A and B are shown apart, each in its own frame.
With several copies, the nearest count.
Chain A
Amino acid sequence: MLTMEIAGLKLKNPTILAAGFLGTSASILKRVADSGAGAVTIKSIGPEPREGNPNPTVLCWGEGLMNAVGLPTPGYKNMTREWAELKDISVPVIASFYGGSISEFVEVAEAIVENKPAMLDVNIGCPNTKKHGAVFGKDPETAGKLINKIKEVAGSIPVMPKLTPNTDNMLEVAKACVDNGADAIAGFNTWGPGMVIDVNVRKPVMGFKTGGISGPAVRPLMVKGIYDLYEKIDAPIVAVGGIMYGTDVIEAMMAGATAVEIGSGIHYRGIDVFSKACSEMEAWMKENGVKSLEELVGSAH
């Protein structure tokens, strides 16, 4: 009832584990797959080992999380055992990755492609390091060039850039990616970033001072972004941002998404947020006489 296809990936349901959540090892990815996710994403892989930012790196400030984990990674060279074990996972495994330059992105992509992930999730939207991430996602030309180069080494593996919402150029960046061969577009990485100051201590609380905002508080911003993307680009869209309930998934689809990622929802509803959202979708579909999710995509336009 919930099956979907996106960029050639067949999903038993449209809920995907968002990058950076619980994606640190094969065993936890397997656990998430067993909790009902339609696909899972490996935490963004970088070119060299990286410790990330000092704690606090992830906080919940109410109706949202705030994070500046800072892309810690063992580095693609230290993941051989992990890759071997990923073979046991019953759903598609997507690989998220990043670099500090176009050539680093390509270097990492090449290494990852050898392990045949189901999709490449290109992280051009992370606001939590100075050198990586969003710097590649704010300028259409740079983003287009990057995707072009990655497509050259990706072979038959679909390539999905994950956008930052924090730029006037969001739609132009998306268009440049699609024009350069992106097979799908994911929207979005975290918002802001934001900052919280402890008034007693008189200091920003996050170790990195700031942190990208995610979770229910950003859902309306995500929906608007997906709605706009659907009208402007010609590629399947994966919605990310504040999705927690079955009706949130349906809302994102009506705005234009073909699938969704769930991250912060794990904090609010538990690791089984995937299967919970899926049962809620099924209940809603029955109540509203909807047979297939496909008819919902873009239906709010």
Chain B
Amino acid sequence: MPTDFPQSYRLTGVRKLTPTVKAFEFAHEFDFVPGQFIMVWVPGVDEIPISLSGPNQITVKKVGEATNALHSLKKGDYIGVRGPYGNGFSIPGHRVLLVGGGVGIAPMKALAQYGEKDFTSVIGAQDKTELFFRQYFPGLHMCTDDGSAGEKAFATVVAERLLKDRKFDAVAACGPEVMLKFLFQICEKANVPAYFSMERWMKCGIGVCGHCSVDPTGWRVCKEGPVADGTVLRNSEFFQYKRDQAGREVEL
């Protein structure tokens, strides 16, 4: 049987977590490392990279055509999946600060759940309705842009404070690239190793097309990534520019 070919499975559960985010469960369990992703085929529409939030679970924010189509699917419908791909989180040390922003909370949930570390967590969103999966995060600090739940602050601000207060062996994070940009500066200042799940436009997902590779090293988000550490992030295109579907450079 093919390995890197989309296999179709029925959705066994679809749950609305926020007005824009749904969790989808399917009839197949991946043996995976938190931080790894799969390519999700929405039949007839598109195929997109999505992190595993559990062995048989993805958690997806509605942002465009493919994610909209996915959100319209119901229990019993088929999706195609292949993977798991990428490196996943491999974090040295024990005391880890988890930071999840927006739908970036999804992969951090898998890490919190299966990561076997001494986690302290920060999850942030625009407002109360967009926070989800809070029950999975140990030592949780919530924050929202409007203060409707938890602290009224950016996740980066909360993280900075925590890093000052206590000693952490590492910071693991996923979220919008601008959030990660500031968080990385904070980590560098605090001299704590960063492990960030990054995104670039993906076509093949298996390391052959080059579309997701980043300057100046040619590091492939789909293969060596998506989790980047400081050696990858420093002096790279990350936090500066990326390439669009045609391969043109666009500012972050």
Q: Tell me the A residues contacting B by CB distance below 8 Å.
A: 20-32, 43, 49-52, 54-62, 65, 67, 69, 72-75, 78, 81, 196, 198, 200-201, 203, 205, 207, 263-264, 266-267, 271
With A32-B218, A51-B246 known, 7 other A-B pairs at CB within 8 A are A20-B209, A21-B208, A25-B210, A59-B5, A62-B5, A74-B249, A271-B207
Are A73 and B43 neighbours in the complex by a CB distance under 8 Å?
A: no
Interface range for B: 35 or more
Are B203 and A69 neighbours in the complex by a CB distance under 8 Å?
A: yes
Closest to A263 in B: B208
B interface, over-half SS: loop
A interface, over-half SS: loop
Are B203 and A25 neighbours in the complex by a CB distance under 8 Å?
A: no
Closest to A78 in B: B248
Contacts A24-B247, A57-B203, A73-B247: A201 and B78 contacting too (C-beta < 8 A)? Answer: yes
Residues of the A chain whose Cβ atoms lie less than 8 Å from the Cβ of B82: 59
Q: How many A-B residue pairs have CB under 8 A?
A: 139
Q: B216 on the interface (CB 8 Å rule)?
A: yes
B241 vs chain A, min Cβ distance (A)? 10
Q: Tell me the B residues contacting A by CB distance below 8 Å.
A: 2-6, 8, 10, 39, 41, 43-48, 78, 80, 82, 202-211, 213-218, 220, 243-249
Please, how many angstroms separate the alpha-carbon atoms of A289 and B5 in the complex?
25
Residue among B8, B208, B218 with the highest chain A CB neighbour number at 10 A: B208
Contacts A49-B246, A58-B204, A263-B208: A198 and B8 contacting too (C-beta < 8 A)? Answer: yes
Closest to B40 in A: A55
Are A57 and B204 neighbours in the complex by a CB distance under 8 Å?
A: yes
Are B5 and A73 neighbours in the complex by a CB distance under 8 Å?
A: no
Please, how many angstroms separate the alpha-carbon atoms of A73 and B218 in the complex?
18
Please, how many angstroms separate the alpha-carbon atoms of A6 and B44 in the complex?
31
4 nearest A-B pairs in the assembled complex, by CB-CB distance:
A31-B218, A60-B4, A28-B218, A58-B204
Are B216 and A56 neighbours in the complex by a CB distance under 8 Å?
A: no
Task: Kindly identify which residue among B3, B10, B48, B246 contacts A52, using a CB–CB cutoff of 8 Å.
Answer: B246
Residues of the A chain whose Cβ atoms lie less than 8 Å from the Cβ of B203: 52, 55, 57-58, 69, 72
Residues of the A chain whose Cβ atoms lie less than 8 Å from the Cβ of B247: 24-25, 43, 72-74
Residues of the A chain whose Cβ atoms lie less than 8 Å from the Cβ of B216: 27
Are B248 and A198 neighbours in the complex by a CB distance under 8 Å?
A: no
A244 vs chain B, min Cβ distance (A)? 11
A-B contact pairs, 24 of them (CB 8 A): A22-B208, A22-B210, A22-B218, A25-B215, A28-B210, A28-B218, A49-B248, A51-B246, A55-B41, A58-B205, A58-B209, A59-B2, A60-B4, A60-B206, A72-B245, A74-B243, A78-B248, A200-B10, A201-B78, A203-B44, A205-B80, A207-B46, A207-B47, A267-B206
Contacts A28-B213, A30-B218: A61 and B5 contacting too (C-beta < 8 A)? Answer: yes
